[in-house]
Amino acid sequence: MADASLSPQERQRFARQLLLHEIGADGQLRLLGARFDAPSTRAGAIAADYLVRAGLRPGSALEAALALSLPSEEGDPVADALCGAFAAVEALKGALQLGTPGALDPQLLADLETAD
């Protein structure tokens, strides 16, 4: 896929991502074609915001290739933000086929609770 497949507006909007070796024009086209399904929680909204900004589109569970693994209930806002950001990064890895998406270490969230 060539950079010419991106519209001028897309090239401008995603200019920084196009410069990244891990993404480039081919990766950005993959991101633009990817769909995700996020739960209706604070963490899901945070993940969705990051993914939409990267160029992915929300979709129904049936059409979404990327189902985000997030807690089903809202908790501490900091933990939700961390979970949402982590899920977005892992979804991007999956969409770009860069490594194996992983799960958030529950100990990290436990450490947040004890830090209060």
> How do residues 48-94 score in pLDDT, each as one tens digit?
999 999 999 998 766 656 767 777 777 789 889 998 999 999 999 98
The torsion region of residue 6 among left (phi > 0), alpha (psi -120 to 50) and beta comes to beta
For residue 36, the cross-strand partners are 58, 66
Q: What pLDDT does residue 4 have?
A: 54
Q: At 91, which amino acid appears?
A: A
| Residues 83, 77: Cα–Cα separation, whole Å | 10
Nearest-CA neighbor of 93 among 66, 58, 69? 66
H/E stretch holding 66 reads strand 66-67
The torsion region of residue 110 among left (phi > 0), alpha (psi -120 to 50) and beta comes to alpha
Q: Structure pTM? A: 0.82
